[in-house]
Chain A
Amino acid sequence: MSQMSAPAGSKTLAPGCFTRREALGLLAAQMAISLGACSKPVEEIVPYVEMPEQLVPGVPLKYATALPLAGYGRGVIVSSVDGRPIKIEGNPRHPASRGSTDAFAEAEILSLYDPDRSKAVLHAGEIASWEAFEQALLPVRQRAQDRNGAGLWLVTGRITSPTLARQVDAFCKTYPQARWCAHEPTDIAAEREGAVLAFGREVSTRPQLDRAAIILSLDADPLGPGPEQIRNGRDYALHRLPNNGFVSRMYAIASAPSLTAAKADHRIALHPDLIAEAAIAVANGLGAGLRRPNLPEHADRFVQAAITDMKSERGRAIVLPGPSLSAETYALVHWINHELGASVEYFEPIDGLPDHTAGTLTDLARDLDGGKVDTLFLIGVNPAFDAPADLELAERIRRAKFSVHASGYADETAQISAWHLPLSHTLESWSDIRATDASASIVQPLIQPLYATRTMHEVIALFATGTRARSYDILRETWRASGGADFDGWWMRALHDGVIADTSAGKLTNLQPQLPRIADAKTVSQAPHLAIVLQPDPCIFDGRFSNNAWLQELPKPLTKQVWGNALALGSDEAHKRNLGEGDVVKIEANGRTIEAPVVITKGHADGVASLTLGYGRKSAGMIGTGVGTNGFALRQSDSPWLIRDAQVTRTGRSEEILKAQNIVGRPEDVDTLFPIVAAQKVSDGKNPPLQTGADLPSLLPTRPLPDDGHAWAMVIDSAACIGCNACVIACQAENNVPVVGPEEIRQGRQMHWLRIDVYHHGTAGEADLGFQPVPCMHCEEAPCEPVCPVAASVHDSEGLNVQVYNRCIGTRFCEANCPYKVRRFNFFGYADGQEYANLGLESYKAQKNPEVTVRARGVMEKCTYCVQRISGARRAAERENRPIGADEVTTACQDACPTRAITFGDLHRSDALVNRLKRDPRHYALLGHLGTRPRTTYLAEIRNRDSDLDKEPS
């Protein structure tokens, strides 16, 4: 890795500063050096004759660590080959991961090798050194000490790291008058304030969906992107399957489409103000006796049905509030959940410093305005991009006398700070972090920092004490007390497990919520004004993953848009405003204006549009800069998730919305391809069998298939799939799937081996969506095989349909003849010399899985059922002289899936889970009537609808 390290601090010599004699001398010296390069180094070096302990060349080692998202940790296990981390998987011991990942965790491995990461200290935009910064810091620290920290501001992200908390605490003690503020772009302030209103104190709330029979979501998105997606997804999926006691029913009232609303059994779209009214209606239904809610008739009917259901399931019902609601509504929901005895757990908040009140960015902006900020430390944040626009921090930060920005990227904030310090990637750092339930994990590095970077802990230590400390020592210091007598043993155990035992927060019980005071009903503003709901982006979250090409090219679950965001509108609303898909509109709110193209989706309330955050980066890197529209530019600090009165006008221009695939909505297509069964029928065993293609009549005798004792197969449960995309990125990481870039997407090309098809099976207005991950079907009668003229597409003796890359000449007949369209062609050398943007740079090559071929231009590729993993399991079994275990082989997509929707196994093993699933009454084969006999089959989506609501209103 040494060649990757940047020439930090190297001085450049001005031209023309040599005399002739000097130049000749230098030439001679340089020749002597280059000759010397052929000899051994002066220091003693050790030949690689005996292997270091544990390290077998080519055999991956796995380490537990944790990755942050919005400040909360998800435990992961990282595979490392010959010192290169290459793949991230979930840590089964970790409560926020449970062995699964999300798309962000999977993609972190690419960010590690991002060549656009910040590599050097910058001073006023010029490369400087750490030593120069330390020099510059001396007088600043002295001044701060003299003034007791007055005029000193520290801005961090959400702090859940015990070590960071300890350090910030110490920092605040060193500088008693210093101010600290935690800035997290996806924080929901109303949630905190709501808890204060209801309980008189801050309380953190976690829904327990695994115990919920009736779920009412009030614009909440528990299944959507965020640190709780994996846990919520797993818990939710538990009771979507008929054999786990009961099948839950989810009602969703959503202002804009979300994964939660998509999967709900019943949904209506309402303006956020009306959703607040719906909360009042629910509370009244439970005897709150509040004022009459101002709800339209159809919404009232919906809410009444939900109330009836919830009342009959007291103790197993739950109401979830979402970010577009006010603190009062959050408080009201606390009251409702208390009345219902809902499956909610309350915890002491973990993301603060108990002894210090956090400032806000608003305070910082005021101080900056008043010239009261002498020194500003910004660590791991990018407020110049993602702070609410009304604070105008991008301008105001310049007013600080001495500003230091530490981050993994030289981003927008780095551009306006006096100093920028490069931070190490999480996979290069020692640290610790808590999950949402407060379980702590040690973050251990998988690799030496690739560049001259330091960790957040080292940087804060430098600010606080002026000394260079190693984060390893700082970290061990934090935990020394917990470790007890045998600290080293405790430490090893903590590192090994990836989660520290008994650190989860104690539950708070006996909380008595107060009914909040409810204001009069707001009049929902009418056209021409539009309410815009802001959402974290399902692909790049809040913009921190902007420069990750995998995530940029990841199709958004509900629109399938890639490489950008757009103002999403319902078709009625668009029609009313005479807007078509791709029309660029000017969005004006609170005196600020942005431009965005329009994308038309189902599931928006009247007068509501939505926009995801994180795009429109100005300084993200080669991949992310300039992609999409910046929603933060419209954000108000007092209403961060909802822009009430936006004016939308056409600009007359239009641009293409890049989509990787279509949402399927024609009823006849949906009926053929995506069967849906009623939960009741499945439970009663009354569901008629679905098409599997196994019973098709044939004039031909059954063709004997070669058989070496294994028959690999996969079953995917659509009822469990929440469309989160973790599998897509997992597949990309595992199988060296290249990124093609926006131009190629525009041309209709993509490389994902696994795609998630979305079927719309509701009525025109209702976005009733189902998800169907589609990898290769590995058909027993594969249509791709007989058409290949060179036998590059062949069947192996274990039932895999394999593609022989070096035999492929690229006729593409196989993809033309594939009814599932799962094959992917390298029209250009996407991984072979014609990479998009900087993706061909050396550092990215370190991420490649050495067990998977990197495909050349002109060859076809596709899902292999992770054949390298099958091979690995076979080798392991042969070494140990045993058969491969029934469910021993897992594919990358299966490992990633938070809801365990994907199952892989050997049909020849009667104890394999796939065999049990293939006997399920919901089992079907996609396009089974074609006689392809696919090995990948599906379990049908389930809907548990309320019979009362399905009746026509009388």
Chain B
Amino acid sequence: MIRINHILKELFRNIFRNPGTAFGALLSLTLLFLLFDIFWVAAGTSEQFYDDLLYDLQMEVFIAEDAEEISLSQTKEVLLRIEGIRSVTYVSKDVARQQLIDLVGVDLLVGYDSLNPLPRSWQLTFASEYQTRERLDAIEREINTFDDVSHVQYSRNWLEKAERTKSMILDIGMVLGLLILLTALFNSANNIRLMARARAVGFYQMRLIGAGKLFLALPFMLEGFLMSGISAAAGWGLLYYWKGKIEFTWLEIIFPAVDDIILFCLATAVLGVISGYFGIRRLLKV
């Protein structure tokens, strides 16, 4: 108990003897974590935006001209049984004509009422986990083997670009996130090292009297824990404050789940403990 009291006393002595350094460290760590948080929110928001775009992704299965109406209902059943297909909507020649009118604004087929050249088709939508180029290509290949089908079409190029962009954002996010966390680790360790260096003589003496490394390091490790944890929480606090102030009508800002935020703050606090130990490690070699 007495040792715990001593460790806590040392912890607050560290902070209150160097309030400027402690406050500076807190500010710089908050700024770093805020950057990380902003990127996390941006990644979540763009992921949601991407998912919304993909939700409307359709594959058009054009029906052969000579296909009988009777066999079409059977083919539709087969299509619905294919894994990953969420819905199958039949588009008759008339509906296709109406869609064309909606698209271009005028009826291009005036005078061809009895001879509508537009093909019949099925419009397919997919479960979210199947909205990848690889899986859609596999489905496309399978459907192309059906007798009633003339050809299949979907926005492969668009999907390819979208996938590439998403992967790029993720890669950059990973690298940036790692860099920010490493910077936070070194920043925190350096601040603690500077505070500890001023007390090097004291450490030397305490070691000579028989103080253990952990006993001396614990106040600094706790300091790292507090500094990092508080900075991480402050970063999220600022973001939530701004979220209440700023509103986007065209984009929904997606924040991580509260559980994830709590886990993140705890993880940064643990990182702070490690940086606290690294900050003081060299001074304990007596």
Q: Do A and B come from one complex?
A: no
Binding site for A on B (CB under 8 A): none
Binding site for B on A (CB under 8 A): none
